[in-house]
Structure 1
Amino acid sequence: MISLSIPDYGDIELKHVVSDYNGTLAVDGILIEGVADALRTLSEHIEIHVVTADTFGLAKAQLAGLPVTLVIAPPENQADTKLDYIRKLGAANVVAIGNGRNDRKMLEHAALGIALIQKEGAAAETLRSADVVSTSILEALDLLSNTKRLKATLRS
């Protein structure tokens, strides 16, 4: 678990990371270099879930052997599927990470939403739904290990 106390933002106890795959952890279906190691390290403190439509059909193979729970979402109603997933985990204990329009609801309703702008870009709606915006998945995951960075960004 990762505990945060952020002035004028609140106390948060994060038990789960719920991440999109393509555009977030991967580019064109291939895991971004360094992500596997970052997920292994982070999994020592928090459970990691990947919920994806798996556009390129590579998520299962790319994530094999990593300490993550993989969920392949059906092509329709993905935003609601992802939102339902974090609600089942307990949204108040979830950090959600994504870039696509289908990630916007989970970022909005999670205790902490991190939007990414990487090679695939990011949906404007998703950026508006996030608490934090990052330009690198490795930097976004590193925020969870170096929580003073989150405090500096989110306090008022």
Structure 2
Amino acid sequence: MINIEVPGRCLYSIENVVFDYNGTIAVNGIISSTIREKIALLCEMVNVYVLTADTYGSAAKECEDLNVRLMTFPRDDAGDYKAKIVSNLGGNNTICFGNGYNDRKMFEVSKISVAVLEEEGMCSNLLSVSDILVKSIEDGINLLLKPNRLIATLRK
């Protein structure tokens, strides 16, 4: 668990980290070695979930050596599937990372939501429901690995 006290707000007790796959942790269906290392560090502290409709068909292979729970679902209604998964995890102890329109609903039910602007772009509509915007998934993961960054971003 990651506990982060944000002045003027609350204590965030993060048990689950949920990542969208394509465009968030993977570019063109591939996870970089740097991101693999950072995800491995997170897995030592929290439960890590990767959600995907698996557009490139590479998610299982890319995640096989990571200690994450990979959850796939049909491409239609992906947003509904993601929101249901996050709700079932307990949104109040979950932080979500995503870049697409279909991430909106899971952002609405999570405690903290992080919109990620990577090489594949980000849906501008996601900003209206996100707590934080980062320019890369590495920056996003570092919010948890270096919590003072998260505190500085969210404090009142």
Same fold (TM over 0.5): yes
Matched, 1:93 2:93: yes
Alpha-carbon distance between aligned partners in 2 of 1:80 and 1:34, rounded to the nearest angstrom: 30
Please name the residue that 2:14 is paired with: 14
Alpha-carbon distance between aligned partners in 2 of 1:127 and 1:35, rounded to the nearest angstrom: 23
Q: How far did residue 107 of structure 1 move?
A: 1.5
Alpha-carbon distance between aligned partners in 1 of 2:93 and 2:147, rounded to the nearest angstrom: 15
What is the TM-score of this pair, normalised by structure 1?
0.96
Alpha-carbon distance between aligned partners in 2 of 1:15 and 1:76, rounded to the nearest angstrom: 28
| Off by >6 Å, runs of 4+ in structure 1 | none
Partner letter of residue 4 of structure 1? Answer: I
Please name the residue that 1:109 is paired with: 109
What stretches of structure 1 of length at least 5 have no aligned partner? none
Structure 1 window deviating more from structure 2 (93-102 vs 2-11): it is 2-11
Alpha-carbon distance between aligned partners in 2 of 1:151 and 1:100, rounded to the nearest angstrom: 25
Partner letter of residue 61 of structure 1? Answer: K
Please name the residue that 1:56 is paired with: 56
Same amino acid, percent of matched pairs: 36
Residues paired across the two proteins, number = 156
Partner letter of residue 99 of structure 2? Answer: N
1:50-74, Cα deviation, whole Å (9 max, x unpaired): 0101100000001111110001111
Alpha-carbon distance between aligned partners in 1 of 2:128 and 2:121, rounded to the nearest angstrom: 14
Match of 1:142, SS state, is helix
- Root-mean-square deviation (CA, aligned residues, Å) is 0.9
Please name the residue that 1:79 is paired with: 79
Alpha-carbon distance between aligned partners in 1 of 2:133 and 2:150, rounded to the nearest angstrom: 11
What is the TM-score of this pair, normalised by structure 2?
0.96
